[in-house]
Amino acid sequence: MTKREYGIWINGAAELPAGSTLFERSSPSTGESVARVHLAGTAELDRAVVLAKETFRKGAWKGLAASERGKILLRWADLILENLVTLSRIEADEAGKTIAAAKGEIEWSVELLRYAASLAWSIPGRIVNHEGAEKLGLVTYEPLPVIGMILPWNFPTVTLFQKLPYALVAGCCVVIKPSELTAGTAIEYARLAKQAGIPDGVLAVLPGTGEVVGQGMCLHPDIDMISFTGSTAVGRKIASLAGQSLKKVALELGGKGANIVFADAHLDAAVAGALAAFTINQGEECCAGGRLLVQETIASEFVSKLAEKARALKLGTPDDVDADLGPMIHAQHQRKVLDYIEKAREEGATLVTGGRAPTSPGLHDGYFVEPTIFTGVEPHMTIFREEIFGPVLGVTTFKDVSEAVALANLTHYGLANGIWTSNLDTAMAVSSALESGFVYVNTYLETVPQLPFGGSKSSGLGRENGPDGLLEFMQAKSTFVRLRPSV
């Protein structure tokens, strides 16, 4: 396996910071070293932010016609697809995904990039001209100068492209902190952005720790906004730090999605959807449907079918083209997920399938966890309440619509929920009653770029994607003009 070396990306070039801390990234699948990452420090952060502020003021990017920015982003999208094989390999090696999963994530991110680019031709504005002949009001939307973006390790590409292209269309300059665990693709995307025509100084990529680079971004006086994807606990810290300088924050945080299956649902489709909902990306997914709520009249048959499909899933390394799931991101996270499984047993849930780290040949060096299903899960149990971030599903039964809604909302999270029913009235009524920013009906984890994404309650603030994703990085300015009296 080829070991890659990464430093920082600043002013349109890659650098290895002098005296930097070296982080050795090992494959979650095999334990082999796949990358060496030279971590940024406070000096690199300050240099990147100062450069971004200067670049913004000079207008090399924001001064372009918005349509020109859009065209550059479309060229960038084409370059990413031309390098899809290489980029997929980097992401699979660092994040532990299957190659197919990494490829699918990048292809979806290109769709987000292309959609965001299209918004360049429709940046909004308003005129108020019906308040008298001498009065004219203008509402214009201006980019926030410098955006700090802090990314997680579970979806290093899609979490970037739910933010970055929208900020670039707006005309912002951006400083990105990818996780040191999965920094490779972010550097490569910046390299391709330069090739597409994005000016030097507009983008900086600074792999580093949260304690140094992340906290420094939140406190830096010349960063105007922080856009963060990650855990609710870290999101609260970021909001607190950013509040010291009253900078704007957008937070896409944790979730504990409820996937609700009514008795009139198409059973096979709902089983397939429930399986994907808790196993996609090995369950390392903030929208994962980790709580399965099944109407009691079909629960036994449903769980039997679901468990059979879960047992058939294949765990494997990125080199295994038949693999369905990869490993947990690192040993500590594997241990955390296994501890949640043991806690579920102790609290009285019934293990149906899975529950272990596999020991089969080819997997013992990685951080794998079997797809795991528990029944008899009650609301007081930890498995019902806490985000596990692994391939673990808790099944709870319900009698009627009102009980299903009450169980789904019995959480401080509010990111995404799912509904399976053949009754449109039921689907729309339950969707309206669910306390979450996104609702899937007769599908799960499926969307289109035009729809905004984000959470309520402890799942975050702000929205990504859709027109809302563009306006998140802009601020409204009102201009009032007193005209001369008409002749």
Q: Rounded to 5 degrees, what are φ and ψ at 301?
A: -65, -40
Helices (H), 29-98: 42-58, 66-82, 84-95
Element (DSSP H or E) covering residue 383: helix 382-385
Q: How far apart are CA 480 and CA 33, in angstroms?
A: 60
User: Is there a catalytic annotation at residue 172?
Assistant: no
Q: Rounded to 5 degrees, what are φ and ψ at 412?
A: -85, -5
29 and 96 Cβ atoms separated by less than 8 Å: yes
Q: One of 172, 173, 218, 286 is an active-site residue; which one?
A: 286
The encoded tokens of residue 245 equal 């300088």
- The contacts of residue 364 (CB under 8 Å, 6+ apart) are 358
Q: How far apart are CA 363 and CA 365, in angstroms?
A: 6
User: Tell me, what DSSP letter sits at residue 207?
Assistant: -
Query: HSE of 479 in the Cβ direction (CA atoms, 13 Å)?
Result: 10
- What is the residue type of 141? Y
Q: How far apart are CA 317 and CA 322, in angstroms?
A: 9
Beta partners for residue 6, in sequence order: 37
Q: How far apart are CA 61 and CA 43, in angstroms?
A: 24
Block residue for tokens 């899937």: 440
User: Is there a catalytic annotation at residue 252?
Assistant: yes
User: Tell me, what DSSP letter sits at residue 350?
Assistant: E
The dihedral through the CA atoms of 228, 233, 239, 244 has a sign that is negative
Q: How far apart are CA 293 and CA 304, in angstroms?
A: 15
The encoded tokens of residue 459 equal 């799942």
- The contacts of residue 155 (CB under 8 Å, 6+ apart) are 105, 281, 285
Strand 4-6 with 33-38, pairing: parallel
Q: Rounded to 5 degrees, what are φ and ψ at 291?
A: -115, 115
Q: One of 44, 105, 252, 285 is an active-site residue; which one?
A: 252
Q: How far apart are CA 196 and CA 295, in angstroms?
A: 52
Residues labelled catalytic: 252, 286
